[in-house]
Amino acid sequence: MPVTLRLKDVEVPATNGSTDAQLAAAVAQRLGLPADALLSLVIRKKSLDARRKSRIVYHYQVDVDLEDEAAVLRTSDSQVEVAPTEAAADPLEGIAKGSYRFRHMPIIIGSGPAGTFAALALAQAGQPCMIIERGEAVEQRLRTVNNLRRDGTFEGESNYCFGEGGAGTFSDGKLTCGRNHPLVKFLFNQWVEFGAPDEILYDAHPHIGTDYLLRIAKNQRQHLEQIGCQYLFGRRFIDITAGGSAARYRIKLDDGTTLLTDHLVLAIGHSARDTYEMLLERGLAIAPKPFAMGARFEHPQDVIDKIQFGNQCDLPPAEYKLAAHTQDRGIWTFCMCPGGHLLPTNAQPNHLAINGMSYHARNSGFANAAVVVNVLREDFYRGHPLDGMRFQAAIERQAFAAGGGNYMSPAQRMQDFMVGRASTGELRSTYKPGVSSARLDQVLPQFIVDALRQAVVDYNKKMHGFISKDALVVGVETKTSSPIVMLRDKSLQSISHPGLFPAGEGAGFAGGIVSASLDGVRIGRAVMDDAIATALAERIH
Ligand SMILES: Cc1cc2nc3c(=O)[nH]c(=O)nc-3n(C[C@H](O)[C@H](O)[C@H](O)COP(=O)(O)OP(=O)(O)OC[C@H]3O[C@@H](n4cnc5c(N)ncnc54)[C@H](O)[C@@H]3O)c2cc1C
């Protein structure tokens, strides 16, 4: 029987880009065959190696089909092997149709990655659910956020954090994760199925880009609607009470609608501060959790390219990832966006927080990265579970005022930030509606400023030229992760509210698109397991 062969570590020089023909030639040469002997070639892994600037290369792992693979296996080096079959896991493996029972549709609050993948996991079993989202569907949301970028018109219910697809819809769509988890394969296959470029399946640093993410969100919605899911956009979940004998819970939306459910997934993200307050009042088990905070650093992309690649051209925009330490803090770069744009990502009016996004082509000509410092419990905790959230909000209000009170972001040249001086002259940034010169070193808490300054010195040693005249510190980056955790038990239900499933980043169980999606899938499975237990109990009685 013909088998597919796998070749590891095929090297292709990165000069003049890397083409399919160059790769095929390198593979054929490794196998000692003419290029037309390859019946098919599939890339399994691809990474750029720029450690030696004089010889920047792509490393590939590929699967090939040949006329006579047995001959190659007999004669080739140990880097050629029979390709293993790598099936993606089925999140609902072992669940038989009819083995579960729902009195009411499961309800999911939030259409971000966690909520959407909880719905998609349920959809694997053909089980529809209702998805309630305070923001708009992507088509309208795009117009609303463009208004914010154009003239600072902020819409409290639909913005860069709230709306279909969640916080990461307008993002770089970086898919940071280990690839070996079988459910991660399921996620990546789903993204491709809904429109992501195939290369995310093999790139060492996969990213989707905002242009594709918008399309994916719409395709996911259409798929879920086809199996009977219902979306309620522009509706905010504002209350939860016991449902009596009819259901575990009765929930209330801001338009007065009340709904009954036995399974409520809370995938609200970490910006819904009003919902956190309400849930705490209703007795949900919530505990404070440390997080991280800092600012965005932004450079002209060619500064970073030059540092990383020297004079080599025709390469993708360069990335970087750096870490430093003070005696008691870590400082690290996070969510780096090559060729990206800076965005206002506050979710409350008269606050300011920023984050980065990019289109798939990563072609803005600027590179930005969050540089964040860990914020310890003792920095904010005064005895209330939401003290971390209030600490974030206070800094966002100061940043809003420092930027001029119109959603312009405070910004400072890195050189000026280092010595505590206001910047003069034009500050070139991708941030819209625009940056205004301000003393970010007076907006951020002193411990963060001290740590960032120390890190910049360290980064400049590792990446000579990092402190450059056009480099900016733009701020503030307050919401790298949730400031709370919604405590859940082994069955992934709230320890205070059985049948309520806290999910994703807002619940404190994820920090990014992949981990939030993965948590969503697990929650979908947990909802099914609970419905199976219900069906079993009914049969026994
Ligand atoms: C600009 C930006 C860029 C990012 N870039 C990346 C990246 O490149 N890679 C990466 O891994 N991560 C990135 N992230 C982080 C990533 O987006 C989040 O980790 C992820 O979206 C969390 O998913 P989630 O489903 O838990 O929550 P969210 O995506 O925040 O979704 C929560 C949803 O719940 C809705 N909601 C909240 N409260 C209510 C309510 N009361 N009623 C109804 N609906 C409600 C919100 O409107 C929102 O749509 C980025 C984030 C931002 C803001």
Question: pLDDT for 407-447, tens place per residue?
Answer: 999 999 999 999 999 999 999 999 999 999 999 999 999 99
Which tokens go with 65? Answer: 């089909």
Residues in the chain: 541
Q: What is the pTM of this model?
A: 0.95
Mutate which of 140, 171, 176 for ligand 1 pocket (most atoms within 8 A of beta carbon): 171
Atom 50 in ligand 1: residue holding the nearest Cα: 168
Ligand 1 touching residue 138 (CB < 6 A): no
Model pLDDT, residue 3: 85
Q: Please give the angle made by the CA atoms of 419, 425 and 430, to the nearest 5 degrees.
A: 95
Ligand 1 touching residue 253 (CB < 6 A): no
Residue 77 predicted with pLDDT over 70: no
pLDDT 10s digits, 449-494: 999 999 999 999 999 999 999 999 999 999 998 999 999 999 999 9
Ligand 1 atom closest to the CA of 165, numbered from 1: 49
What gap in Å lies between CA 288 and CA 170, rounded to an integer?
Answer: 28
- Expressed in angstroms and rounded, the spacing between residue 478 Cα and the centre of ligand 1 is 14
Model pLDDT, residue 541: 67
Ligand 1 touching residue 296 (CB < 6 A): no
- Residue of 247, 270, 460 lying closest to 353 (CA atoms): 270
Ligand 1 touching residue 206 (CB < 6 A): no
- Expressed in angstroms and rounded, the spacing between residue 269 Cα and the centre of ligand 1 is 5
Q: Which residues contact 521 (CB under 8 A, 6 or more apart)?
A: 91, 117, 118, 120, 121, 183, 186, 187
Model pLDDT, residue 451: 97
- Expressed in angstroms and rounded, the spacing between residue 163 Cα and the centre of ligand 1 is 9
Model pLDDT, residue 233: 98
Please give the mean pLDDT across all residues of the chain.
Answer: 94
- Expressed in angstroms and rounded, the spacing between residue 125 Cα and the centre of ligand 1 is 25
- Expressed in angstroms and rounded, the spacing between residue 166 Cα and the centre of ligand 1 is 4
